[in-house]
């Protein structure tokens, strides 16, 4: 693979989380990821995968009822949002679905002049972010 092909494919292939209650977690992620353009791409008895329609999954959830533990302080997963409105919708969906607020939607100038983000915690303790880095409210 040429270096420009590697750069275009992104750094990460996928990420997996263990969750205590797969049905609850999958429903939560389905709700919060929809405004960002991501969908549930597959589901099985033990897992569910999310990503863009027509592409491979980039986030998988796996049932680990007895030993699901989120990564420690300093870890969070940031999802790309197509607009500031999508960030707002992500946060609202998370609050409606039982997530915990870790930072309402807004500009985060310490990360960049156009860095617009929101932070939430899911029911398993994973810290999640939706971020849009375009100029203006698009």
pLDDT digits (tens, 9 = 90+) for 19-57: 999 999 999 999 999 999 999 999 999 999 999 999 999
95, with CB counted inside 10 A (0-12, 13-18, 19+), is middle
Q: What is the pTM of this model?
A: 0.89
Mean pLDDT value of segment 58-77: 90
Residues 6+ apart with CB under 8 A from 135: 114
Predicted pLDDT at 74: 87
Contact (CB, 8 A) for 80 and 36: yes
pLDDT value of residue 14: 92
CATH of domain 11-132: 3.10.180.10
pLDDT in tens, 68-111: 888 888 899 999 999 999 999 999 999 999 999 999 999 999 99
């Amino acid at each position: 693979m040429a270096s420009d092909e590697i750069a275009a494919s992104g750094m990460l292939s996928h990420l997996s989380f263990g969750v205590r209650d797969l049905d609850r977690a999958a429903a939560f992620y389905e709700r919060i990821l929809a405004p960002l353009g991501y969908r549930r791409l597959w589901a099985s008895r033990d897992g569910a995968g999310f990503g863009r329609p027509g592409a491979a999954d980039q986030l998988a959830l796996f049932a680990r009822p007895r030993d699901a533990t989120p990564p420690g302080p300093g870890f969070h997963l940031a999802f790309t949002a197509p607009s500031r409105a999508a960030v707002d919708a992500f946060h609202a969906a998370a609050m409606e679905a039982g997530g915990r607020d870790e930072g309402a939607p807004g500009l985060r100038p310490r990360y960049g002049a156009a860095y617009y983000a929101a932070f939430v915690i899911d029911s398993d303790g994973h810290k999640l972010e939706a971020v849009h880095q375009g100029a203006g409210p698009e």
